[in-house]
Amino acid sequence: MIWVLGCRGMLGSQLCELFQKNKLSYTGTGSEVDVTDFSELENFADKLESSSGSKIDFIVNCSAYTAVDKAEDEKESAQKINSAGPFNLARIAEKKGAAIIHISTDYVFDGNAIQPILETEKKSPASVYGKTKASGEDNIISSTQRYYILRTAWLYGFYGKNFVYTMTKAMNSRESVKVVCDQKGTPTNCSTLAQVIFEICSKKTVPYGIYNVTDAGQTTWFDFCREIYSLGTKYGRISNNCAINSCTTDEYPVKAKRPAYSVLDTSKIQSALNIKLPDWKLSLEDFIKDERFSVK
């Protein structure tokens, strides 16, 4: 059995859909179970096993504090959810003989790399959000050997706020938008990450460890936005004539420092699962033309 935490979030929603479609036994929880409360988690895990009559095999942590700029002012909240939460879940996993699958981020690096970043690269977070996520990774590694830490980047999905929806809405209502052109990374469809998690849970033979999981290729936020406009127009999601202008990071000030380069090397997960991750442009097209696409 699989326990999915954060089941109503962007990734968790799609993951549970995938599990259901493939008849994989899971239980999903959201805010009704507090990841920062060890006793509450322990009690829930005990009840889950006794009521279902089956053992928890995987604890999938899709819960996270993801407000990157807000985290600069809300350090304690970010730390509790992104660091203490994973620590609690890893200890529950260790006690239950389960494996933990935890979602991490490109923000554990400072963005000064010049080539795709390997899993073995030393962490060097430059923001509060990045530091709390790095701490969460460390807490898991110190608590259990049965872990899968999946680092992803530039994630978007059907059920939640994300860059694709934000820009689609903006480009439908404005004459122009301005997007940074000097930050490079890989846009990643939640479907790709959910599929990888599904494969890990189904196979049960993937070696434990840290894995980078993103779509393939790389781009800038500016070119990502241009592709959203192109595909959005093609599939009738955008019906407005909108100019897309570029700017530098310095011209678009935000509280938290963003990585200038956060392309992750995904060869390890592709080899472990014997798969080829899709190109980010193809993933984006699949997303935009899907019937679940819905800008609020």
Catalytic residue annotation? 129
Greatest distance between any 2 Cα atoms in the chain = 58
Across 76-226, where does the E strand assignment appear? 99-105, 147-152, 155-156, 176-180, 184-185, 188-189, 209-212, 219-220
Separation of alpha carbons 150 and 194, rounded Å: 11
Entry field: residues in the chain:
296
In sequence order, what are the beta bridge partners of 246? 179
Across the chain, where does the E strand assignment appear? 2-5, 26-29, 58-61, 99-105, 147-152, 155-156, 176-180, 184-185, 188-189, 209-212, 219-220, 243-247
Q: Which helix (H) or strand (E) holds 268?
A: helix 267-273
Separation of alpha carbons 82 and 201, rounded Å: 23
Separation of alpha carbons 118 and 137, rounded Å: 15
User: What is the distance between the terminal CA atoms of the chain, rounded to a whole angstrom?
Assistant: 34
Separation of alpha carbons 82 and 149, rounded Å: 13
- Classify 42 in phi/psi space as left (phi over 0), alpha (psi -120 to 50) or beta: alpha
* Residue 156 near residue 188, CB atoms below 8 Å: yes
